[in-house]
Copies of this chain bind each other. A is one copy, B any other.
Amino acid sequence: MQTKYLLSENQIPTHWYNVIPDLPGPMSPVLHPGTRKPVTPADLLPLFPMGLIEQEMSPERWVKIPDEVREIYRIWRPSPLFRAHRLEKALGTPARIYYKYEGVSPAGSHKPNTAVPQAYYNKIGGTKRIASETGAGQWGSSIALACKMFGLECTVYMVKVSFEQKPYRKSMMQLWGAEVIASPSPRTNAGRGILARDPESQGSLGIAISEAVEDAATRDDTRYALGSVLNHVCMHQTVIGLEAKEQMKLAGDVPDVVIGCHGGGSNFAGIAFPFVADKATGSKVRLVAAEPSSCPTLTKGVYAFDYGDTAQMAPISHMYTLGHDFMPPGIHAGGLRYHGASPLVSQLVNAGVIEARAVGQLAVFEAAVTFARTEAIIPAPESSHAIRVAIDEALQAKEEGKEKVILFNLSGHGHVDMAAYDAYFSGKLEDFEYPAEKVKESLAHLPQVDFAK
């Protein structure tokens, strides 16, 4: 019985899977933040190169991966799929647990899967410089790396609390040649506005997005890049699930449940979307998004039109949201602190194709420790949300005395997040349930949209 299932370089997928043609209904349009009318490709050109705009709206189920992108993917792809023999044994479960491990990338997470094609399409689209934002730094380090690979300049607005608490990922960005700026910053109107109201602001992903979007929109040589949420980002990540499907065949198993953690939606989409098509043709596989109970977008938010950012500069999307001025508490899974969700994931949750589950951070770290002490790999706090749900599913199988095949996405390693483990071991972490009245408050500020379906 094998521990891991490997594919060769020539088995890196040749095409990304685009879930749009397999959606249960038509997509809602994305609205211009000023006019509140559906955006056109021309509206998006100041922010994105045409290659990515086309992908954002593509009706094609399969989109070719350029050779130049596969060339960089080869550094770490195909990533391994593991059978969690030791974890199963420790849990005493009849379930068979598999995990796809994306921590083998040079940045230590799944984020380079989309950073690389984004840099590539910008390069061929004439972009000289990319402005982006980052929370905990997984995305920022990945876009920095991708820009270096294609010879682009890169500026990253990093949420201030992470800039100060997570200096290691800042250093990774600098090593890969990027400029890193603590957000909110005096560099942009959006940042200056926030600082004027609250000079001590610790920042949020929504604010950092506003800064990066403004930077890109106001400079001719610069375009913007987003590490999650958007359709093309979710599509790029499907290399994860496509490889995992091939590897599950090698293992001779078919998953009953597929789990990914959920922040903006990209790593979840990466593992889960390739199974959505199977559901359309009769598969009973369950797809479960695991989110933090402190930022419960899918489980406590509403499915509505909302801005992608705090300063209302980004397009308005139809998505699950806690409100664009939602300020999440400073939990240690920094990558899961976004007020919104991918419109594609949102539509599939709303249609009942995808389930969502919120988990508390103490239970998440308990799962992470169990995992590290059995499977050896130290998981990122974000990925540990998926581990928590996978363990819960395995324990349920044990209780019911049923076989079950579980597949989850271990989206990154935790070597750069040891301070979070320190905080957990020293008893400094606590659970935080977002109070319902707070959600109600931020939801009162949703934009009025008179778009008729």
Chain A: residues with CB nearer than 8 A to chain B?
2-4, 6, 8-9, 71-72, 74-75, 82, 104, 106, 108, 145, 148-149, 167-169, 171-172, 174-177, 369, 372-373, 375-378, 413, 415-416, 418-419, 421-422, 425
CB contacts (< 8 Å) of A421 on chain B: these are 171, 174-175
Q: Can you add 5 more A-B contacts, CB < 8 Å, to A168-B418, A168-B419?
A: A3-B9, A106-B376, A148-B373, A171-B421, A175-B373
CB contacts (< 8 Å) of A149 on chain B: these are 376
Nearest Cβ on chain B to A134's Cβ, whole angstroms: 15
**Copies, count:** 2
In contact, A167 and B3 (Cβ under 8 angstroms): no
Q: Which residue of B lies closest to A375 (CB)?
A: B75
CB contacts (< 8 Å) of A175 on chain B: these are 369, 372-373, 378, 418, 421, 425
Please report the C-alpha to C-alpha distance between residue A176 and residue B9 in the assembled complex, in whole angstroms: 33
Please report the C-alpha to C-alpha distance between residue A104 and residue B82 in the assembled complex, in whole angstroms: 14
Please report the C-alpha to C-alpha distance between residue A200 and residue B171 in the assembled complex, in whole angstroms: 30
Please report the C-alpha to C-alpha distance between residue A176 and residue B176 in the assembled complex, in whole angstroms: 31
Query: SS class of chain A's interface: helix, strand, loop or mixed?
Result: helix
CB contacts (< 8 Å) of A372 on chain B: these are 175-176
CB contacts (< 8 Å) of A8 on chain B: these are 6
CB contacts (< 8 Å) of A375 on chain B: these are 75
In contact, A418 and B378 (Cβ under 8 angstroms): no
Q: Report the 4 A-B pairs with minimum CB-CB distance, sorted nearest first.
A: A171-B418, A3-B74, A106-B376, A168-B418
Q: Which residue of B lies closest to A369 (CB)?
A: B175
In contact, A378 and B172 (Cβ under 8 angstroms): yes
In the complex with contacts A75-B3, A415-B415, A106-B377 CB distance below 8 A: yes
